[in-house]
Structure formats: structure tokens, C-alpha cells
Chains A and B, each alone.
Chain A
């Protein structure tokens, strides 16, 4: 299995690296979403990003050379993902629950992204690729971009993990100690939106959502402090993704789905094994 995986590295090395970097970055940000009790906002944002990419493709349809047309879909994906992450706070303002609004955004994104491109074969294939979570298209530029984004995440967590945890888990107390919660909330939504938009464009919505939510849930079972979740969650994500890619190569399964399935099994296993 190892030899086969190593042999495939020459062809898919960039895709594997991009996938692992995505997993590390999203699983770190996912700790914030879990602490904010806004797990569902992640999937709403992921679907909103898919809609953004679909809107971009409907404005500027794809021709055969997909790589020359990254710009607009990328930007629209990020923009819509940012809007999607701000949805829960919007829900509170209009007197609706965050869950209901997230479900609405999810369904709007899922239906309109297909309807918009129903008569554009290339575009529809691209949206279906995003929903299927294929990492195959990732190239060296994606590796550089995700290295930079992951580095930024690590730096932010290292410098401000206490502030991040307090604002996410107990915003009223954060206000009382003088932290500008509204600005933190906006900045965090914008940052999560950027990461989700980039990740969905490259790795698809299932892999993105799985890495955002499942590693923090697994870490929650084994950690004694929220702070340590920022270390354990990316470790779980990286190791599981690596094994998922190896198994996917050997048994010829789609890597995104296999990684999501392994992570889901990992959460269940840890819940059963570790009783805090």
C-alpha cells in the first residue's frame, strides 16, 4: 500500500499536500466554530461558496481551459462564504434561530447553484465536482496558497488563542474584559469565509465541511482544555487525511469521501472509548 501511494506521489503529490494543508487549516478554525456552537454555519457557508462559484460561472462561462479562469469563481466563492459565515448573527438580529437561517442558506445554495448552470455543461460539471469533493485538480499554486493560509492560522492561534476562546465561548465576559467582540466576530467571520471559499474551490464542499467540524469534535472527546484542541484537532485531521489518501489510492476510492468517512468514524470511536 505504501509503495503504491509513494508511486502515485509524482502525479498526485500536490493534491495530497493541498488536502493535508486544507485539513490542518480547517480543523484549527473548526475549533472556533465548535466553541461558538455554530457548527451548522460551516455547511451553510460551504454551500454559499458553491453558489458563489456557480454565479461566477454563469456570468463568465467556462471554456476548455479551466485553469485560466480561476479568478472570478475564486473571488465569488470567498465572498459568498464570508456572507454565509455571518448568517447566524443575522439570524439572531431578525429574531430567527441560527439553525433555521443556516438551513435556508444551505438549501438556497444547493438548489440555485445547480439551477443557474443547468444549461451550461462545463459549469454544471464544475459544480458537481465541487459537491463531489475531488482534490485531483490541485496544483503547486494551491500548495503555496494553502501553506500561507495555514501559516497565518497557526500564527493567529499562537498569538491570540486566549482571546479567541473567550470571544467564541463566552462573548459577554469577553466584552466585560474589554475585548471588542463585534469587531472580533466580524473579523473571524471574514477570515473563516476566506478559508472556506479557498478550500471549497480546491477541495469541494464535503471535504471542507468534514475537516471543519469532525476533527474538533474528535479533539473535544480527548482534550482536557479548549486550548489543547487547537493542537489535537489539526493532528487528527492531518493523520486521518494522510491515511485516507493512502487507502483511497490503494483501493481506488474517492479521497474526499474516504477522508470524511474516516473522520466521522474517528469521532464515534473516540466518543465510545474516552469518557471524560
Chain B
């Protein structure tokens, strides 16, 4: 934590500086500047196709940056400190996989023994309210339970920074509400820094400490109330 005057500012986790992103000559986002601080719950909002996933891909390191820089605090945002919850549609449900195998894949790169990995998985599943599912097939779970397993896989890494890519997509109303409640509790209890792409206005208005709104190839940054006021003007 750094103290500036009377305000207490948390340590920065992720910083985008004059970022320009695109595919080949096609520029998708330009002059993107934002900063995430420890404990932020940021929602990345915007219409379909506006560049939210492009930014997520750049943050994950899947996209070469055309200009500018992404600074990652090595104590908060290096690969070993990052958890990621991908969109549900990326999974091939016909591929045979138990919950244990699925969770275990999320612990790659952490140099843990098999028993340590197993206990981390069980602990993370308990955290999201799922017990005794390790040996179950992933495809046998309901959509809501599967999304909790995906979140548990990210949490098993004990992350400091959590990326979520449209986590509530394809979930019914009850599962969506349950998922957001769970995320709110985790954010509060574990002091996680969260960056979440979502189209859910209710969740964004209730949970976010910061909105990043992608519009016209750039990003507006601010606390939810300031941003809404600016957009109304």
C-alpha cells in the first residue's frame, strides 16, 4: 500500500500504457490506458465485437502488442499468481474428463506433488461449495456446477489476480445469481483483484469497484457512478 496525502492507494497490479491492439493492419483498440490496483473488482464492458476479448487475449499474452506496453506487477500478476476462468463454450464436452483431471490441469507450472495438487483441488472445490465431485465426470455436472468447477480450478492456484471471460454466459438466472454471490464473497474474503468481462449490467452495477468500458476503439475508465454520469452527459 502507498500513502499519498490523506488517501490510501493500493499497490498497482496491472497497468496498460498507450496500448494499441489489433490483428495485422486492423486496429481494434488504440490508446488504451488503465490501471488495476490490488483489491479492485473491475468489469470490462462493451458491445459484442468491440474488443473486450482482444484485450483479454493481450493480457493473457496471446496477442502481440502493436504499440504501448502492459506492465505486470510480478508479485501479483505473474503466471503463478493468475487464475483464469474462460468462457464456457471453449470446452469440448465430448472429451472425457473427470473433475479431478480438469482441476489438475489448472495447476500446471506450480511445482506441486500429486498429493499437494489433490488437496489444493479439494480445498478449492470446498470453497465454491462443491464436495465429493472429484471423481465425477465433468460432462455429468449441471451448467451451474460446471462453472463453479471452472472457478475452483482458477482458485486452486491461489491467485492474486483473477481474469474471468463472460463467466455467467449460458447459465440460468438462479445459477447466475449464485455465481455472482460466490464471486462477491471471494473478492471480499480473499482480497482478490478481479478483471471480469461481462454483459451482465446488474452484476457490473452491484459488484464493480471500477468499470472499463470499451467504446469506439478505446477504453473509458472510472468508478461505476462517475462513468455512468459521464456517459449520460
CB distance from B26 to the nearest CB of A (A): 10
Is A96 interfacial (CB 8 A cutoff)?
no
Neighbouring B residues of A165 by C-beta, 8 Å: 105
Q: Say whether B101 faces chain A, with CB atoms less than 8 Å apart.
A: yes
Inter-chain contact A225/B108, CB cutoff 8 Å:
no
A170 to chain B, nearest CB (A): 6
In the complex, the answer to whether A220 meets B94 with C-beta atoms within 8 Å is: yes
A178 in the interface (beta carbon within 8 A): yes
Q: Are A169 and B82 within 8 A (Cβ)?
A: no
Q: Within A213-265, which residues are at the interface with B (CB < 8 Å)?
A: 220, 223-229
Tell me if B90 and A276 are in contact (CB < 8 A).
no
Within 8 Å of chain B (Cβ to Cβ): is A66? no
Known: A166-B108, A169-B95, A170-B91. A177 touches B101 (CB 8 A): no
Q: Are A166 and B105 in contact (CB under 8 A)?
A: yes
Residues 10-43 of B at the A interface (beta carbon under 8 Å): 23
B79 in contact (CB, < 8 A): yes
Fill in one digit per residue for B67-104: 1 if any A CB lies within 8 Å of its CB, else 0.
00000000000111011101000111011111001001
B62 at the interface (CB under 8 A from A): yes
Q: Which residue of A lies closest to B80 (CB)?
A: A178
Say if the beta carbon of A179 comes within 8 Å of chain B: yes
- The answer to whether A177 and B62 touch (CB under 8 A), given A35-B92, A169-B91, is no
Residues from chain A with a CB closer than 8 A to the CB of B177 are: none
User: Is A163's CB under 8 angstroms from B108's CB?
Assistant: yes
| A162 to B95 alpha-carbon distance, docked (Å) | 14
Query: Which residues of chain B are near A171, meaning CB under 8 Å?
Result: 62
Contact A177 B86 (CB under 8 A): no
Known pairs A176-B79, A220-B94, A220-B96; A170 contacts B105 (CB<8 A): yes
Looking at chain B's contact residues, is the secondary structure mostly helix, strand, loop, or mixed?
mixed
A175 interface residue per 8 A CB criterion: yes
Tell me if A48 is interfacial: C-beta within 8 Å of chain B: no
| Closest chain B residue, CB of each to CB of A232 | B96
Is B119 on the interface with A (CB-CB < 8 A)? Answer: no
- A173, B105: Cβ atoms closer than 8 Å: yes
A7 sits at the interface (CB 8 A)? no
Q: Per a CB cutoff under 8 Å, which of B61, B101, B163 touches A225?
A: B101
Q: Which residue of B lies closest to A35 (CB)?
A: B95
Question: Is the CB of B176 closer than 8 A to any CB of chain A?
Answer: no
A37, CB-defined interface residue at 8 Å: yes
* A224 CB contact (under 8 Å) in B60, B61, B98, B107: B98
Contact indicator A225/B97 (Cβ below 8 Å):
yes
Majority secondary structure of chain A interface residues (helix, strand, loop or mixed): helix
Cross-chain contact A276 with B86 (CB below 8 angstroms):
no
Asked if B215 is an interface residue, CB under 8 A from chain A, the answer is no
Q: Smallest CB-CB separation from A36: which chain B residue?
A: B92
Contacting residue for B108 out of A34, A37, A177, A228, CB 8 A: A177
**How many angstroms from the CA of A34 to the CA of B95 in the assembled complex?**
8
Contact B109 A226 (CB under 8 A): no
> Which residues of B are found within 8 Å of A37, using beta-carbon distances?
92
User: Chain B contacts of A172 at CB under 8 A?
Assistant: 57, 60, 62, 84, 86, 90, 165
Q: Which residue of B lies closest to A165 (CB)?
A: B105
Q: Does B106 contact A (CB under 8 A)?
A: yes
* A162 pairs with B105, CB closer than 8 A: yes
- Asked if B54 is at the interface of the complex by the 8 Å CB criterion, the answer is no
Task: Select which of A163, A176, A229 is within 8 A of B60 by beta carbon.
Answer: A176
Chain A: CB-nearest residue to B104: A162
Of the candidates A175, A225, A229, the one whose C-beta lies within 8 Å of that of B62 is A175
C-alpha spacing A263/B95, complex, angstroms = 19
The interface residues of chain A lying within 8 Å CB-to-CB of B78 are 178
Segment 169-195 of A: residues with Cβ below 8 Å from B: 169-179, 181-182
- Judge whether B137 is part of the interface by a CB distance below 8 angstroms: yes
Q: List 20 A-B contacts (CB under 8 A).
A: A166-B105, A166-B108, A170-B90, A171-B62, A172-B60, A172-B62, A173-B84, A173-B105, A174-B108, A176-B60, A176-B79, A177-B79, A177-B84, A177-B108, A178-B80, A179-B108, A182-B62, A224-B137, A225-B97, A226-B96
- Interfacial residues, chain B to chain A (CB-CB below 8 A): 23, 57, 60-62, 78-80, 82-84, 86, 90-92, 94-98, 101, 104-109, 137, 139, 153, 157, 163, 165
